[in-house]
Structure 1
């Protein structure tokens, strides 16, 4: 027997194949594709086929002898993986990937013996509604049925429900980004009705601050900032778009309409001012104002950014990898990329007047057109004069940045190696080939937007509900929330993800008017008195300063908060009403040992609050919060030295009066010199799309909370509030302070420790004793953590 055959036979003993039973069938997407993708595709994939061998295509792999379905012993793929001991012969070669493990080899053998099938990538197949399992542990809703069944499969049980104080603080922070008021906590704790928690959820969903909290996440995707970026980093007027997002989310504008208006509101029939404002989504790209630059180069870069952002937000794909060459792993060719790019290649970038005299609006339109022309031909001196004139007119008329289709489309070409000066084949707007056929005719951004939210689209609903899940658990069901491609992670709960995706688009009828009871879905959230229908008709939304000047047609009948398709509020309520969400976050020995990263969701996750929300809860506790929603960015205090580290030369004129105490999302964002709170606590950089923020833990964060004059001011105000609103005795005031900061009562030990500290501070300076206590409480980890 040849040595290779002998060694291969020995390997079959060392690495026995798992029996090929239906129950143990190897899953290609979960078990095999990651092995091939990491170890093989770089040299034998769609872009490169060394030795004329291609392993990402089943037919090619079989033809070339790499695979013999049903017979792993005859498959060259396994021989190379198992037998070659020398660096020249073994696969994958050193430096490309690690040598395959025994477990990986066993999986490959079983897969080949079971037929070596290559089903389509799971994320590229439209989700179907699976049948929910029936776990032993009683669920509250369908989400729990999937989660509890998975825990039981692994021999685990869910954690008990968190105590009521933790629940109301958790859900208030998640839905509004603010602390619950002591009276709200007290009312909830004293409410024994079955609907007590659901009533809290409905109240929060109807709050004008709900839209602010959810908009903060969306603005990360939109790369929102109040300046242009690059060296000059001049200011821009685009806050009306930010206010549109807040109002749309408060009104529960269905996500399909939310998508269409942002990507193509200007192309809708009889487009309203509101729908044009929505296209500000793609005016959040950085803009280079430097003299001597090539205007076409940076127009191309903005168009690239729009294509990449659209793919990341709605498709969850790293399409930008195909800008210079075919994608190394995903079925996205360079031609596919420039077909997507072509949808945005004919966008003009006007300034839209939101009010004022017709003459002023006309003048703004004229100046915007002249400025675009001047930049296009590189007339820098003329452009500077036009910018100054435009600023003068804009100072008298509220404006915003939007996109608009050119009367005559540009020709779009593949850019050879990503170089806009090297034109390849001409292309037309089209959808990525792997995701479906493109209809005939010249397509527009409106066609693209409608396709993204069309029935049976495989990605949009999955990608969206996965990001929404991430908000409430810190991690998506697909951990690589920005990559649903072949290199992305497999879902931890694939059936739950698909059920949520279908439910988001086409919810099941509510089985009972009694929401939240065991085994039933919660009732849909009640719409605001001035909810989504009024928003769509153009009435002034209760929270947005711009909407009194914008309007739009009503969306499709029967959509939104009433409990049917594409409703964020309904999805959020479904999640926060689940027993899965309401679990305690306390660590458990069995979970730490068997599921240390909590992928199986056997408990809730403790999450440090985002940068803006840290400011918000501090303002909320201090009593200084200005609850106004919407309007231009504000300038809270910051160190004067911030701009010394940049080339920006823009003054930071501190806001006074109520504007000094606005929520963190209204802080003016200079791209090149963000407010220190934002950079210290990992805010998005506003340069590119951000699908998930980092969460670092640094000494600077503790120093910022303890010593920043802003937070000292907040603590001083909280100290005053404790004395003014709390009882007259120390113990009562300490308890009040804990209810304000943590929504709970202090333990006996905590009361004793705070009392000792308070007594010591009184001896040193009686006037600041309670401010000192407040400063301590605001620097406890629990204060900036969502349990």
Structure 2
């Protein structure tokens, strides 16, 4: 055999031995019990439920495969045949159809462009042989704590989390990475808890603390910083679709920012998550509700509003209630309820009736669809909470409002006489059909008679410990924030089409533990950060990369680029420019000219972009003004949410445009110049300045080789600027922060360029 033939034969052998079907055939040879939830339902959901699932309007041949009694029943068109006969593939019509080669009989049909693999067919056959046992969807079964898996290396686990992680690693022949270096751990927890890099002083303090509980003490210290609430609020602003304008064409200014101040405050004082949710859903309906509890209900009012003349009031009023319903279901329950607005859900056991029963909870408010055009615009829409100076002085001290004027915030209010709610044909506002009352999907958790049929009852149902979703969904969100990927990857979809949990027992254990410990958010975060799983090095080994390329089983710490807001925060904080003021109205930092003007109706307060001055230019990314029709460019380039709807999972891309931002953005250039000026003013020579800047930005001391490269770059830039004084002056005058005239020159320009280069290292804006 010639060499090429040998290589080709080896490739084929390797492909066959490594292919999923080959591996899965070996799996079928075992005595493992086939699970409907984990093996069969994903196949049926992807290939069959569109025509044989929950949606009655699209159901073919009267066959429904998502419910056992329907699947076992006689077929409507062939009474002597049955879809599935437990223990008997040979008499199960479903099995006959999936193995048929006749185009008129085979399932899925050829024109669907869907096809089952031989492995999937064998899996269904074995499941039927084992009795075709159906199970409730895993996410609708209340979570429970199972016994901790045993761990061979008794010294590795730091807490219960590690037992579950070890068990999954062990099944796949993986072992955990060693613990990361102390400097890496400090940067990691600082970014995860506060969204800010550790200062050189904090680095030195942690390095010098040799006590056994030094790491735990540092977590506690960081959790007490006000920056913690700001970091957590960034996540919640995406979920609550917070923005500073109304959206649609005119897109005028609104004043919902006191709600953001409340979210920061709630996280900082560690308001239990069940109360956090209850106040936002129905704070206005609590007994003797105060203005703080009412303010929390602004969560429901952050959606877009139209101010365009000629619109139909009822059309947009319904649109706003739809948005509230969808945000609640996606952000808090992790369900794609919006799929049932126009018809029964095709995959989940949620009917259109269920959808509008949930809609009914939010439909009893005096909110209007249209309150006038932009010439009559107000910074809040009815119903309104007025916040006065004495409110801030007495109860709402967390609101950062420097003058004595009143603030208007859109909040919730209940009508005295309930508004009737109807199922809307195809979801259209002007096509009411059958009336419905407030209710929740029974497939999730029945709405007990003890709950009032209003938003307060909905809130009580949501945080009831019997609800299988609420705790799971939030624990998964926090896991995603820390590890970059949820235990359930599809963070906003715990339904039939969502991803299965990678560690189901761990997710359930954490969800139950979270509820048992008073829905304590800070405790949950500390629990995860204290684990050996979290403390691992992020070093990537080829063997692990081949076995687990997505790091699903966490045999190493993930390397994650920082969220958009925290990239800005890192640049500001490490350079010394950051203004650490908490809360207050949003600010307008540097932005390319003409962006707003190119996408505006030319009316209203926001028709032109008026950049802020002074300290407002150096606020955290959380406070950047978000105009819905023209979101701020830097956050969008780094995958920030445009906030026009509830977002629970941002993507992470790598594009050339991101590199151009880090090289040329005025803020990065100004921060580099500002830090360089500080270092030179402190009397540091080039080497000391570079070492100091590197430590501030990267979070560790530079290696000898790194210093040599950066010093060489400094010398080259110094020589260049000595020959081009005008270029040096132009570079160091970037930005509006003041600079001493005596510092302007080639030295400052060269050191600025080196610091810009440090900001452009992958490690600078990556959590490793």
- The answer (yes or no) to whether the contact 1:16–1:106 under 8 Å persists in 2 is no
Partners of 1:397 and 1:702 in 2: how far apart?
A: 43
The reply to whether residue 769 of structure 1 matches residue 725 of structure 2 is no
The reply to whether residue 108 of structure 1 matches residue 117 of structure 2 is no
- 1:661-689 deviation per Cα after TM superposition (whole angstroms, max 9, x unaligned): 11011111111111111221111111110
SS in 2 for 1:131: coil
Measured at CA, do residues 786 and 19 of structure 1 come closer, stay the same or move farther in structure 2, by a change above 3 Å?
Answer: closer
Measured at CA, do residues 15 and 752 of structure 1 come closer, stay the same or move farther in structure 2, by a change above 3 Å?
Answer: closer
Partners of 2:381 and 2:280 in 1: how far apart?
A: 25
Equivalent in 284, 287, 290 of residue 305 of structure 2: 287
Structure 1 match to 2:4: none
Equivalent in 512, 527, 546 of residue 574 of structure 1: 527
The Cα shift of 1:86 comes to 3.5
Structure 2 match to 1:782: 763
Note the 1:323-722 alignment, pairs <5 A: 323-349=341-367, 380=372, 384-385=375-376, 387=378, 396-440=405-449, 443-506=453-516, 564-649=517-602, 650=606, 651-722=608-679
The Cα shift of 1:439 comes to 3.6
SS in 2 for 1:400: strand
Q: How many residues align?
A: 685
- The answer (yes or no) to whether the contact 1:20–1:113 under 8 Å persists in 2 is no
SS in 2 for 1:302: helix
- The answer (yes or no) to whether the contact 1:17–1:107 under 8 Å persists in 2 is no
Partners of 2:413 and 2:764 in 1: how far apart?
A: 45
Structure 2 match to 1:29: 37
The Cα shift of 1:442 comes to 5.8
Equivalent in 129, 143, 151 of residue 161 of structure 2: 143
Measured at CA, do residues 109 and 17 of structure 1 come closer, stay the same or move farther in structure 2, by a change above 3 Å?
Answer: farther
Measured at CA, do residues 79 and 157 of structure 1 come closer, stay the same or move farther in structure 2, by a change above 3 Å?
Answer: same
The Cα shift of 1:389 comes to 12
CA RMSD, 1 decimal: 2.0
The reply to whether residue 158 of structure 1 matches residue 166 of structure 2 is no
- The answer (yes or no) to whether the contact 1:228–1:286 under 8 Å persists in 2 is yes
Structure 1 match to 2:709: 753
Partners of 2:702 and 2:601 in 1: how far apart?
A: 47
Structure 2 match to 1:80: 97
SS in 2 for 1:51: coil
- The answer (yes or no) to whether the contact 1:17–1:106 under 8 Å persists in 2 is no
- The answer (yes or no) to whether the contact 2:326–2:337 under 8 Å persists in 1 is yes
In structure 1, stretches of 5+ residues that fail to align are 1-13, 350-371, 507-563
The reply to whether residue 50 of structure 1 matches residue 6 of structure 2 is no
Equivalent in 689, 706, 731 of residue 687 of structure 2: 731
SS in 2 for 1:348: coil
Partners of 1:455 and 1:676 in 2: how far apart?
A: 42
Equivalent in 66, 70, 78 of residue 83 of structure 2: 66
Partners of 1:746 and 1:445 in 2: how far apart?
A: 56
The Cα shift of 1:388 comes to 9.5
Structure 1 match to 2:251: 233
Partners of 1:403 and 1:693 in 2: how far apart?
A: 28
Structure 2 match to 1:41: 49
- The answer (yes or no) to whether the contact 1:17–1:109 under 8 Å persists in 2 is no
Structure 1 match to 2:20: none
Partners of 2:201 and 2:27 in 1: how far apart?
A: 63
Partners of 2:678 and 2:684 in 1: how far apart?
A: 12
The Cα shift of 1:390 comes to 10
The Cα shift of 1:231 comes to 0.4
SS in 1 for 2:362: coil
Note the 1:188-267 alignment, pairs <5 A: 188-267=206-285
Partners of 1:503 and 1:59 in 2: how far apart?
A: 35
SS in 1 for 2:276: helix
- The answer (yes or no) to whether the contact 1:479–1:489 under 8 Å persists in 2 is yes
- The answer (yes or no) to whether the contact 1:734–1:754 under 8 Å persists in 2 is yes
Measured at CA, do residues 145 and 268 of structure 1 come closer, stay the same or move farther in structure 2, by a change above 3 Å?
Answer: same
In structure 2, stretches of 5+ residues that fail to align are 1-23, 75-81, 388-403, 722-745
Measured at CA, do residues 439 and 388 of structure 1 come closer, stay the same or move farther in structure 2, by a change above 3 Å?
Answer: closer
Partners of 2:162 and 2:35 in 1: how far apart?
A: 24
Partners of 1:436 and 1:581 in 2: how far apart?
A: 33
The Cα shift of 1:729 comes to 3.6
- 1:294-348 deviation per Cα after TM superposition (whole angstroms, max 9, x unaligned): 1111110010000011001121100000000000000000000000000000123
- 1:563-611 deviation per Cα after TM superposition (whole angstroms, max 9, x unaligned): x310110000000010101111111112111111111111111111111
- The answer (yes or no) to whether the contact 1:735–1:745 under 8 Å persists in 2 is yes
